[in-house]
Structure 1
Amino acid sequence: MDQLLPADFEPTSRVLKRAQYEAFAFSVLDGDIRVRNESHEKPADHEYLVTVVNSIPAACECPADATYEGPCKHRVAVAIRPRILDFATKVQVVADGGTRATDHYEPAESAQCDCDELNEGFPCWNCVQTGRKALPEK
């Protein structure tokens, strides 16, 4: 898991676990990432913009990112999903002459997940949602 996080990221164990198991939905907007927590009854009330700078989730609009030390769960959720972070970085390249394929990242149905790289055996949300893996009992 440590290899997925930027060197200066030091999330608490609680934040890291929540970033892994909560039902986040991601949308790329001009190189930044909107993170929506689908675990809540009203997900639209739990949607925040994560700003990406030099391929690092550098800031989040959520109250926790402004209040607590270390990155919030939204920034960590982006950081531990290299495919999403890579896509956001590629969208930012558009300003430098690249081309934009889409504004929304949709992983291929056959794409392998990142479960093996997650902390303490936690599966990614996609595996839980599709029934491929279950959350641990503890």
Structure 2
Amino acid sequence: MSTNPFGELDVTNRTVKRAQYEALEFALSADGVQVRNNSYANPEDHEYLVEVIEGVPTTCTCPADAKYDGACKHRIAVAIRRPILNAVRRQQLVADGGISSASKHEENTPREDGDSDDQEQAEECDCADLRSDFPCWECYRSGRKDFPDGY
């Protein structure tokens, strides 16, 4: 994924915040990503399918996605979580007859163009798109950045 999927979405600050703090659970399905909102007392009534096309969450089955102009919190939640988008991409590759996953050796081997995957991940970092001092998941997970003091 060379572009940032979050940048492809029309979003509001309120919806982005909800996508970040609500207790969302994700599961891959054959048609996309099932997003369940566990913030509700009855989460089974708040489960929706987000379709991802070319790395961008394009549609959601929730009422808000149909009713409002901007992207819903479910689409935003998928867009800001690169590990989920990577899993969707791998699943789509397998469905198209591609490979299921790369070995650790292949993931860390410099590419023919001289860039390593670590350099590419740093370039694809989502920290600049976040509206706070918190690091994106990939930077935190890889140890490149830590939470701000006091958290």
CA positional deviation for 1:14 = 0.2
C-alpha change, 1:38 and 1:91, in structure 2 (3 Å) is: same
C-alpha change, 1:38 and 1:90, in structure 2 (3 Å) is: same
Alignment of 1:105-116 (within 5 A): none
Aligned residue for 1:26?
26
Of 86-95 and 43-52, more deviation after overlay is shown by: 86-95
- Using the size of structure 1 for normalisation, the TM-score is 0.70
Contact 1:20 1:123 in 2 (8 A): no
Identity of aligned residues (%): 47
Aligned pairs, how many? Answer: 116
Aligned residue for 2:41?
41
> Please, which runs of 5 or more residues in structure 2 have no aligned partner?
102-124, 137-146
CA positional deviation for 1:20 = 0.5
Q: Give distance in 1, aligned partners of 2:81 and 2:91.
A: 16
Q: Give distance in 1, aligned partners of 2:24 and 2:6.
A: 20
Of 44-53 and 30-39, more deviation after overlay is shown by: 30-39
Partner-residue secondary structure (3-state), 1:14: helix
Q: Give distance in 2, aligned partners of 1:75 and 1:98.
A: 25
Runs of 4+ in 1 over 2 A off after TM superposition: 3-8, 98-101, 114-124
Q: Give distance in 2, aligned partners of 1:33 and 1:76.
A: 12
| Larger-Rg structure | 2
Contact 1:49 1:61 in 2 (8 A): yes
C-alpha change, 1:115 and 1:23, in structure 2 (3 Å) is: farther
Alignment of 1:1-138 (within 5 A): 4-30=4-30, 32-100=32-100, 118-121=130-133
C-alpha change, 1:13 and 1:35, in structure 2 (3 Å) is: same
Q: Give distance in 1, aligned partners of 2:63 and 2:18.
A: 16
C-alpha change, 1:123 and 1:41, in structure 2 (3 Å) is: farther
> Please, which runs of 5 or more residues in structure 1 have no aligned partner?
102-113, 125-132, 134-138
Letter in 1 for 2:49: L
CA positional deviation for 1:65 = 0.2
Q: Note the aligned Cα RMSD (angstroms).
A: 3.0
